[in-house]
Amino acid sequence: MNSKIAALYKKFLKGELSPEENAIFLDLLTSCDRDEFPDVEEVVALDDRDCELNKTTSEDIFFTITGTSLTPSVIPIWKRRWSVISAAACLLLIGLACLFQFKVKEQHGTTASEIVHYSNPTKFVKQLVLPDGTHVSLRQGAEIELLSDFDTDSLRRIKLSGEAFFEVAKNAEQPFVIASSGDFDVRVLGTAFNLNCSEGRSSLVLNHGKVRVSRAGQYSVVSPGEKVAYDVRQKQFDVAKADTSTASNWKSDLLSFNQVPLAQIVADLNNLYPDSHLELIDSFRTESYTGYLPASDLEKSLKMLNTAFNQTIIHKK
């Protein structure tokens, strides 16, 4: 990573970053520690170009800054008028050329930089394989966008909306980053984890490997068998032990609950089936449920819940 960061840093100092590389560099600035970046001296040492000042360099520098020559010469009036006309014509041509180039780039950008997008509008779990070989189980209603070119960029950046299980293909030279998703960003090399991205309720459960989550300069490293979430009120990450099998049981088309309030279960079912408009009897709002429900069969789920409490506790509007 140090060599790739140094290469981007060098191009940044020289003003040669492409828009895609600039986005990656800004992401690195927010997700890397300060000591992960090379010193300016190290970056300058990477540039082997020599700089020699010839006899006209001082004259050129002075003219560029002041617009006048160090050794002004007397110019006839007829030459001055034609000089002004020539300068105006050159400026006009330059302006037209810049406008044409901008339009060409704008048109090229709209056609070439197409965003790769995956979604799961079905009521079943969708299996995906990303261009780098990463396997993804995409939960119902979830969406993924690829934010970088996995073949050429130094980072594999994606955005997730909803819940998914990742088995990331290992590539130490090209970290996998889930950015702008839910409450925090995720950075990994090669690992398996369950990630639920929803504003104010994002959480990650790590099966194996190691991940780093970050938000607004804060970060936390998560180990296998741990769950991490961001506490918005306390403005800190909460890491605790977790049951990895329970967290990803939905991959087998099961919804898993462990002492979860019925009100939360009904809310989850309404998210999964937005047209169902389920309501819970008020007297059962403080009750909890432990068990499994089929993710693709609402009627069976309702029957199991009503049977567990020996009466109809959930009904449709």
Residue 48 has a pLDDT of 64
CB under 8 Å to 91, separation ≥6 — which residues?
none
Residues in a beta bridge with 196:
163, 203
Task: Give the single-character DSSP code of 103.
Answer: H
Token readout for 125 is 């779990």
Residue 75 has a pLDDT of 55
Q: How many residues can be counted in the chain?
A: 317
Residue 302, CA distances (Å) to 29, 123, 266, 293, 314 in order: 48, 16, 10, 9, 7
Average pLDDT in the 252-259 region?
Answer: 79
Average pLDDT over all residues of the chain: 81
What pLDDT band is residue 64 in, cutting at 50, 70 and 90?
confident
Higher pLDDT, 92 or 46: 92
pLDDT tens-digit profile of 209-222?
989 999 888 889 99
Residue 91, CA distances (Å) to 69, 177, 222 in order: 20, 45, 58
Token readout for 50 is 């020599």
Q: What's the burial of 295, exposed, middle or buried (CB within 10 Å: 0-12/13-18/19+)?
A: buried
Higher pLDDT, 22 or 205: 205
pLDDT tens-digit profile of 278-303?
999 999 988 999 888 887 788 999 99
Residue 110 has a pLDDT of 37
Check pLDDT > 80 for residue 1.
no
Residue 16 has a pLDDT of 83
What pLDDT band is residue 49 in, cutting at 50, 70 and 90?
low
Token readout for 308 is 């567990």
pTM of the entire predicted model: 0.52
Task: Give the single-character DSSP code of 141.
Answer: T
CA distance 101 to 98: 5
- Kindly list the domain boundaries of the chain, sorted by start residue: 3-45, 117-249, 253-316
Higher pLDDT, 221 or 28: 221
Check pLDDT > 90 for residue 130.
yes
Question: What is the share, in percent, of the chain residues with pLDDT greater than 90?
Answer: 31
Token readout for 180 is 């702008």
Four-way CATH pick for 117-249: 3.20.20.150, 2.60.120.1440, 2.60.120.10, 1.10.645.10:
2.60.120.1440
